[in-house]
Structure 1
Amino acid sequence: MSKDGSDGHPQRHAPTDMDVWKRSDRYHNERLIGTPDASLIHSVENSVKSGLPNIALSEAQAKFLHLLARTFKAKRILEVGTLGGYSTIWLARALPEDGELITLEISETHAEVARQNLAHAGLDSKVKVIVGPAIESLPKIEPSFDLAFIDADKENNLEYFKEAKRLVRQGGIIIVDNVVCYGRVSDPEYKDEWTEGVRRMLDYIKGDKEVDATTIATVGDKGYDGFMYALRL
């Protein structure tokens, strides 16, 4: 062992940057995901053409949600934040023939693009897009869901999480995206509505006996962030 604590092998935990993360994503995606099919390509291109912001999940993140839904044999999925429907397509493809996905989107423009993309993917019969503030739509929805995915305005994360906990069955899963935000959430000197919304949710969950949760940090072509993974007890 050298004086710096290394074992003489190349350093495996050296700091990296966006170029390395993107290269790593490409390498793994080529082997484990392959070339995106026509519906996913259409979803991305149609969203860009329609002027939607480039804030959808990465391929690897979306594939993770897809595999998770399949693992749990999910029949009902709740999504808060539709955007152009990219993650919606991945999740809906995991459903059985009689499965259902309800997705909430505040923007009528985004919702219309998502409907176009879902129809192109042949999934419009499985997916219901509800337009309006999710904070108003969620209380009107009845349980129970197997999986909930929250990826909307972070200011209301706590309210979304509480509603998702009400709606998800015991043993179901709640995933919340963007809970690391380049490490800003853990930086007490950094304050904005986004990070404060995530912090309120995490502080609430700290004392919540109805869930067991952890954060899974992620790096890739979407930068340094992470999911919160919660099991409904």
Structure 2
Amino acid sequence: MDSEEFFRYADQHTTPEPPLLARLNRETHVQTLMPRMLSGHAQGRLLSMLSHMVRPRRVLELGTFTGYAALCLAEGLADDGELHTIEFNPELESRIRRYVAEAGLTGQLHLHIGAAAEIVPRLRETWDLVFIDADKINNDTYYELVLPQVRTGGFLLIDNVLWGGKVVESYPIKSSDKDTYAVRAFNDKVHADPRVENVFLPLRDGLLLVRKL
């Protein structure tokens, strides 16, 4: 079975995405230049499942894009839970807010537009669950920024840790390929970090699941 058949079979045996998310998924692919940044069906259902398992009161997402992953994570929020999501690109704001409103989450899902490194220190919260899906070259910066704010036993999820498979290629990384170098170095760092335990999930483009000790 080739990889495409594998993922197609997995999708066929994963609970379908809700209609609102299916519409957002389609709209993202039709109307944005980089639709591959969307978490998508299988990963979205995993994010929802993990959120339901944790039942978080406070969730932080770095890198909203069109809002798909944020809506998935919000599905498992505790009754008094809130989700803060940070997006750098202001052109995406209206679409995100429209879907948040349609999902009935305006009071629980808070969108911040700007640089995560500037916004996170202003959010004086203790996080139960953090999803990092922003610019990969700054994964380490974001990790060190949010880890002190995550409660003991809380979770971090970091997306795109396979980076198109480049991190497992045996030949030396070109000095110009700074993203691949950064992702590989970050993966190695987390794996050796005594503050956490981690599981590397080869789902989609790789998802690193981390628990703070």
Q: TM-score, normalised by structure 1?
A: 0.82
SS of equivalent to 1:185: helix
**Aligned partners of 1:40 and 1:52: how far apart in 2?**
19
Residue 204 of structure 1 aligns with which residue?
Answer: 189
Measured against aligned partners, the alpha-carbon deviations of 1:61-86 in whole angstroms (never above 9, x if no partner) come to: 11111111111121111101001101
Q: Which consecutive residues of structure 2, in runs of 5 or more, have no partner in the other structure?
A: none
> Helix, strand or coil: the match of 1:101?
strand
1:97 alignment partner, SS class: coil
Larger CA deviation: 188-197 vs 105-114: 188-197
In 1, are the aligned partners of 2:155 and 2:209 still within 8 Å (CA)? yes
Partners in 2 of 1:197 and 1:111 — Cα distance? Answer: 28
Indicate the RMSD between aligned Cα atoms, in angstroms.
1.9
Whether 1:189 and 2:169 are equivalent positions in the alignment is no
Does residue 17 (structure 1) correspond to residue 3 (structure 2)? The answer is: yes
Distance 1:140 1:66 in 2: 27
Say which SS state the counterpart of residue 128 (structure 1) adopts.
Answer: strand
Q: Which has the larger radius of gyration?
A: 1
Contact map agreement 2:191 2:197 (CA 8 A) in 1 = no
Structure 1 unaligned runs (5+)? Answer: 1-13, 220-224
Checking the alignment, whether the CA contact within 8 Å between 2:163 and 2:183 is kept in structure 1 is: no
Q: Which of 12, 18, 24 lines up with 1:27 in the alignment?
A: 12
Asked if the contact 1:62/1:87 (under 8 Å) is kept, the reply is yes
| 1:1-233 mapped onto 2 (5 Å cutoff) | 16-18=2-4, 20-29=5-14, 33-34=15-16, 36-48=17-29, 50-51=31-32, 53-54=34-35, 55-187=37-169, 188-191=171-174, 192-219=177-204, 225-233=205-213
Alignment coverage as a number of residue pairs: 209
Q: d(CA) in 1 for partners of 2:90 and 2:154?
A: 29
More helix by share: 2
Q: Which is further off, 192-201 or 155-164?
A: 192-201
Measured in 2, the distance between the counterparts of 1:71 and 1:128 equals: 22
Residue identity opposite 2:128 in structure 1: D
Q: Percent identity?
A: 31
